Structure 1
Amino acid sequence: MKLRIPLLIASILQVIVASSQIEKQIDTSINHTTPIIPTEKVELLKNIDVIANMQYGFNNDFQDGKYVGSAFSMNQFRLEIKGKVYKDKVYFRFRDRYTKSTQPQSVDNISASTDLAYIGVNLSPKVSMQFGKMCADWGGYEFDANPIDIYAYNDIVEYADNFLSGVQLGWQLTKNHSLTFQILNSRTKTFDELYDSIPGVKQSKFPAAWVANWRGNFANGMFQTLWSASVFTEAVDKEMHYIALGNQLLLKKWTIQYDFKWSKEGLDRKTIVTGIVPDSYDPYAAMDVAYIEHWLRFTYQFAPKWTVSGIGMVSDAYWYGNPDPHKDSHLRTAWGFIPSVEFYPFKNFNLKFFGTYIGRTYKYTDYSKKEFGSADTHTGRISIGFISPLVVL
């Protein structure tokens, strides 16, 4: 028994020594004096923002007055990283949408979910250039708003290719007026992917978009403009002409915004008219179509942490290329009404809780009903949730 005790103590000591050696080896494999982010890189992080743009809600859907169902949903989630990488000369912006397909597109070779991926260079205090995938700099306050602040888009913005690859030149004319000019790919997919083959229509070798935008500021910011004109080449002798005129009025606690949009398309890029016309009538993309829209939004802050807003919108669809000699070019009118109330619980922190109703009514002309079998319909959604561009870095 006396012999076993010293042997047991010796064994325990041996285990302790071995364990301490292993622990020492593990510790020495980590250099605690070297930070994860090197000191010379810390300064760079001061010029970079990481933003989680979120709109999350409990959605309750209705179709023609009947309850369809409910679900919690991440309506919008777009992760954004932006900042300066070389003094005030070179900057970048990247934003990816986690609520859209990540399939790389055949024309620009970048994911469909990527909204923005560009670098910018300030050539002078008033002139800048951007290269990469960016917003088509269309006018109008509906499109200019952060997408998480929009509960539903009117038809033109909803069905457009809004993020395209190309180059932009920006020019700050004066303190109150600026211009931008863009040359972009007119689409992210090939002609055949979008339209299939259309008899008599020849593909363009360079399907380009030419966009000009003017931002104006009057009466110390009380009245502002956001206007643009664009030409998109879809195919040889088939272009899309787009005009958007955005206007904003700021009156103390009131914000009033009005957009007028007009899109005339040699080929139906929005596909709304094409969707109305059955394949038995015309199996190809409709030609010579037009869309005319009005969008009105008001916001009123009735208390320090509370605002109410209302959006009214209307979109008309026309098919001028219909071969029917007895045609009515006007096929459909879509109405929208979106009242909402928003609560900001924290001062100086951009987080809001919302409650909104999104009502859409689609009314078809008598011609469309008779020739194409169209039927009026109404959709509704009651949504309660939160919105925030959370700055996490």
Structure 2
Amino acid sequence: MKNVDIIMNMRFSLDNQFTDGKFENSQFNDNQVRLEIKGKIHDKVYFRFRDRYTKTTSPGSRDNLSRSTDMAYIGVQVSPKTQINLGKMSADWGGYEFDLNPIDILQYNDILEYADNFLTGVGVIHQISKNHSIGIQALNSRTGNFEEIYQGTIPQGIEKSKLPKAIVTNWRGSFFDGKFQTIYSYSYFHEAKNRGMNYVSLGNMYANRNFTLMYDFKYSHEGLDRKRLVTTMLGGGVPENETAYTAQDVSYLEHWIRAEYKINPKWNLSLTLMSSDASGKNILNDNSGYHHLRTAYGVIPSVQFAPFKDLNLKFFVSYVGRWCQHSDYAKQVLGQKDYNTGRLSIGFIAPLWIL
């Protein structure tokens, strides 16, 4: 067991919810509880397992694994610089929003919030040099079957893929003695015939002494709307509605910025800013044209206090503010309305190292 770690990743808080500036409710939440077990079981074999106790445990119809399981894979070191991973793993998206421990993300931006981020397949990681590595993964494109994901809302003439796979490529770089780092990726998902998804994520980080600045750019063009945000605006996703259908040719473009400043070993400040744009082409008919539909903004200031020198336990106070603004087209044609939400949270964050 000396080469095995057991970690309980937790985030607990008292959450106070607001909608359009009006107080809605207050409740205690176990926001994150993820048990992680990882380590070496052989000189060249590594394993990692992580299960989330705050998510449904029903098995995925594609991979036959509980939806609550983030990762369950082995890694085999085939050479000093090359490792092959097999099983359910995190899709190797670029960007630091996804690279951080989930307990440290108080609210994800839309793309990651509504994506299948943990998929089953095979991945290869190769260390090109001390400061650069590349990776490629071949994964199931989703955890559920086609019919389960789209729930009878597929437009006529769309033929599901017989090979629903995803290819994820990744490059990680480090420059200037690690002060500037990058995580870039490009992914392609084959969902249906002539209806794929292209996803680009570019993560950049500058870190120097007590200050860290991260910036992610993300763009997803989807032949079929996997995030379902545009589809929801059209009334899709409701099997009882005979006119409901999944939107096609939609795009999501995002910016995510996080700044952290460590005042001293016990006090840390952070500020996250994010935006997400949703657009669609010919979403009502073949000739309706291209339209920007909405922009969602987010701001998350947070103060953290770590009282123990030898334990990574942080108490925090944060506010998560979200504003959703719709275009004139979305308001006038689709009947959408602007709104905002807020969440004031007080609690703790801790990756508890049990063993």
Q: 1:121 to 1:326 in 2, by over 3 A?
A: closer
Counterpart Cα distance in 2 of 1:108 and 1:198? 26
SS of equivalent residue, structure 1 residue 329: strand
SS of equivalent residue, structure 1 residue 206: coil
Q: CA deviation at 1:372?
A: 1.1
Residues 360 and 378 in structure 1, CA contact (< 8 A), matched pair in contact too: yes
Equivalent residue letter for 1:243:
V
SS of equivalent residue, structure 1 residue 284: coil
Counterpart Cα distance in 2 of 1:337 and 1:209? 32
13, 16, 25: which one aligns with 1:60? 16
Higher strand share: 2
- In angstroms, what is the RMSD of aligned CA positions? 1.2
Match of 1:272 in 2: 229
Higher Cα Rg, which structure: 1
Q: 1:281 to 1:255 in 2, by over 3 A?
A: farther
User: Please, what TM-score do these two structures have when normalized by structure 2?
Assistant: 0.96
Q: 1:353 to 1:160 in 2, by over 3 A?
A: same
Matches within 5 A, 1:199-214: 199-214=156-171
Q: CA deviation at 1:53?
A: 0.3
Residues 282 and 290 in structure 2, CA contact (< 8 A), matched pair in contact too: no
Asked if residue 249 in structure 1 is aligned to residue 206 in structure 2, the reply is yes
Match of 2:34 in 1: 78
SS of equivalent residue, structure 2 residue 329: helix
Asked if residue 347 in structure 1 is aligned to residue 309 in structure 2, the reply is yes
Match of 1:115 in 2: 70
Match of 2:82 in 1: 127
Q: CA deviation at 1:278?
A: 2.3
Asked if residue 286 in structure 1 is aligned to residue 253 in structure 2, the reply is no
Asked if residue 223 in structure 1 is aligned to residue 184 in structure 2, the reply is no
SS of equivalent residue, structure 1 residue 371: helix
Match of 2:274 in 1: 313
CA deviation string 1:181-200 (max 9, x = no partner): 00000001111111124310
Residues 134 and 171 in structure 2, CA contact (< 8 A), matched pair in contact too: yes
**321-330 or 302-311, which deviates more:** 321-330
Match of 2:343 in 1: 381
Q: 1:122 to 1:365 in 2, by over 3 A?
A: same
SS of equivalent residue, structure 1 residue 60: strand
Residues 327 and 367 in structure 1, CA contact (< 8 A), matched pair in contact too: no
Match of 1:36 in 2: none
User: Please, what TM-score do these two structures have when normalized by structure 1?
Assistant: 0.87
Q: Which has the higher contact order (CA 8 A, sep 6+)?
A: 2
**378-387 or 314-323, which deviates more:** 314-323
Structure 2 runs not aligned, ≥5 long: none
CA deviation string 1:244-267 (max 9, x = no partner): 000000122110000000000000
Counterpart Cα distance in 1 of 2:131 and 2:282? 42
Residues 233 and 336 in structure 2, CA contact (< 8 A), matched pair in contact too: yes
CA deviation string 1:335-360 (max 9, x = no partner): 00000001111113211011000000
CA deviation string 1:257-298 (max 9, x = no partner): 000000000000000000111257951110000000000000
Match of 1:154 in 2: 109
Equivalent residue letter for 2:137:
Q
Match of 2:136 in 1: 181
Match of 1:390 in 2: 352
Residues 34 and 52 in structure 2, CA contact (< 8 A), matched pair in contact too: yes
Match of 2:265 in 1: 304
Counterpart Cα distance in 2 of 1:301 and 1:81? 29
Equivalent residue letter for 2:308:
F
Matches within 5 A, 1:136-155: 136-155=91-110
Equivalent residue letter for 2:257:
L
Counterpart Cα distance in 1 of 2:289 and 2:185? 32
Counterpart Cα distance in 2 of 1:373 and 1:221? 49
Equivalent residue letter for 1:139:
G
Residues 289 and 321 in structure 1, CA contact (< 8 A), matched pair in contact too: no
Matches within 5 A, 1:14-29: none
Counterpart Cα distance in 2 of 1:221 and 1:282? 54
Q: 1:328 to 1:376 in 2, by over 3 A?
A: farther
CA deviation string 1:204-224 (max 9, x = no partner): 111000010000000000000
Tell me the matched-pair count. Answer: 348
Counterpart Cα distance in 2 of 1:353 and 1:194? 38
Higher helix share: 1
